[in-house]
Amino acid sequence: MGNRIADLFGIQYPIIQAGMVWASGWRLASAVSNAGGLGIIGAGSMYPQVLREHIVKCKLATNKPFGVNVPMLYPDIEKLMAIIVELDVKIVFTSAGNPKTWTSYLKDRGITVVHVVSSVKFAQKAEEAGVDAIVAEGFEAGGHNGRDETTTLTLIPAVKEKISIPLIAAGGIATGRAMLAVMVLGADGVQVGSRFVASNEASSHPLFKQKVVEAGEGATQLTLRELTPVRLIKNKFYNDIQKAYAGCATVEELRALLGRARAKKGMFEGDMEEGELEIGQVAALIHEIKPAAQIVMDMMEEFTHAKADVQHL
């Protein structure tokens, strides 16, 4: 395809399956890589030993490139990085932190490094830190989000203006048409999260996958801006947050309400009431749970048709 992202990773299609807590283990990552995209193991919800097992299993399940996503908030991050190096993982996506902290360490060990940002300022910092590519994520995305609340439509051309390394767009992309749109805006490839949550191979709980399929317009909201802003489905837990805001809760009270393991409770254990259910606005366009390979193929087919469709414009 002669594409900078496909060439950088040695993959067929410039579709990256986002690293996602409680959703993207070795099954999903290897299925996407085998289908010609780039699968990513989400290490953020894994103990170091669990990550080790997922990397080993992923290597057995695919001989194609795959990566690991490491959110820099992870408390035992040194242990994760040591395992990544020891097991010879070739691609690391870092997020939620300063790109300077780990980029040279990883690059010195021959690893391709990509950093996730939600603003032009941090895109430039990441480029200065020496990363190989950037994911720019708009605030319609599922999961943790930027404070500036810039949409993908605005963010991608703004980042493109200021950086020269390959650019991956994320946030609101679940179809081939959306993929074409962000590539017209300057992206070299896409990172897709929510769409892959509703895949057969995602490790998310079946009830959560079903909830994603049922989510319509307006089903998600960005909240907890005082802690780490997160986009989630409006369920009982979300309503409890709203009540806390109405009662002028302090940051400490919000933190106590969030508590520990909320995301695991919802997305992995299937508690649709009390759990945190991270998903993007694009859930409204997801109508069925499909095999990951089918998602990749459908996106590429729609992308090709959409490109032909706009020839006449």
Q: Count the neighbouring beta carbons within 10 Å of the beta carbon of residue 185.
A: 18
Exactly one of 30, 33, 62, 95 binds ligand FMN (CB under 6 A); which one? 95
Whether 208 and 237 have beta carbons less than 8 Å apart is answered as: no
Write the binding mask 17 to 36 for ligand FMN: x where contact by CB under 6 A, - elsewhere.
-xxxx-x-------------
**Which tokens sit at 75?**
């408390």
Q: How far is the CB of 130 from ligand FMN (least distance, A)?
A: 19
Is residue 308 classed exposed, middle or buried when 0-12, 13-18 and 19+ CB atoms within 10 A define those classes?
A: exposed
68 φ, ψ (degrees, to nearest 5): -125, 135
**For ligand FMN, which is the closer residue by CB, 116 or 126?**
116
Stretches 51-59, 157-165, 253-261, 274-282: which one binds ligand FMN (CB under 6 A)? 274-282
User: Is residue 173 within the footprint of ligand FMN (CB under 6 A)?
Assistant: yes
- Cβ neighbours of residue 272 under 8 Å, at least 6 residues apart? 207, 208, 211, 235, 266
Q: Is residue 60 within 8 Å of 4, Cβ to Cβ?
A: no
Site string for ligand FMN, 128-147 (x = CB under 6 A): ---------x--xxxx----
Q: Which is it for strands 39-42 and 143-144: parallel, antiparallel or unpaired? A: unpaired
Total number of residues that touch ligand FMN (CB under 6 A): 30
Q: What angle do CA 178, 208, 24 make, to 5 degrees?
A: 65
* CB of 308 vs ligand FMN, minimal distance in Å: 25
Residue 277 C-beta: closest distance to ligand FMN, Å: 8
By beta-carbon proximity to ligand FMN, the closer residue of 96 and 249 is: 96
Q: Considering the rule CB under 6 A, would residue 198 count as an interface residue with ligand FMN?
A: no
By CB under 6 A, residue 203 contacts ligand FMN: no
- Give the binding range for ligand FMN (CB under 6 A) out of 57-65, 74-82, 192-200, 249-257: 192-200
The reply to whether 170 sits near ligand FMN by the rule CB under 6 A is: yes
Nearer to ligand FMN, 22 or 127 (CB): 22
Member of 30, 33, 62, 69 binding ligand FMN (CB under 6 A)? 69
CA separation for the pair 203, 164 (Å, rounded): 35
Least distance from ligand FMN to the Cβ atom of residue 18, Å: 3
- Check the CA dihedral 89-179-100-7 and report its sign: positive
Closer residue to ligand FMN, CB minimum distance, 70 or 120: 70
The residues facing 16 across adjacent strands are 38, 191
Phi, psi of 286 (to 5 degrees): -100, 115
Return the structure tokens found at 78: 């040194």
Measure the CA–CA gap between 211 and 24, rounded to whole angstroms: 17
Residue given tokens 């780990």 in the structure block: 102
Indicate whether 116 belongs to the interface with ligand FMN (CB under 6 A).
yes
Under the criterion CB under 6 A, does residue 71 sit at the interface with ligand FMN?
A: yes
Structure tokens at 291: 């095999």
Calpha distance 25→79 (Å, rounded):
18
How near is the Cβ of 145 to ligand FMN at its closest, in Å? Answer: 8
Q: Please tell me whether residue 150 adopts helix, strand or coil conformation.
A: coil
Residue closer to ligand FMN by CB (options 8, 172) is 172
Decide whether 62 or 191 has the Cβ nearer to ligand FMN. Answer: 191
Under the binding rule (CB under 6 A), the answer on residue 192 touching ligand FMN is yes
Residues in the site for ligand FMN, rule: CB under 6 A? 18-21, 23, 42, 44, 69, 71, 95, 116, 137, 140-143, 170-173, 191-194, 197, 267, 278-280, 282
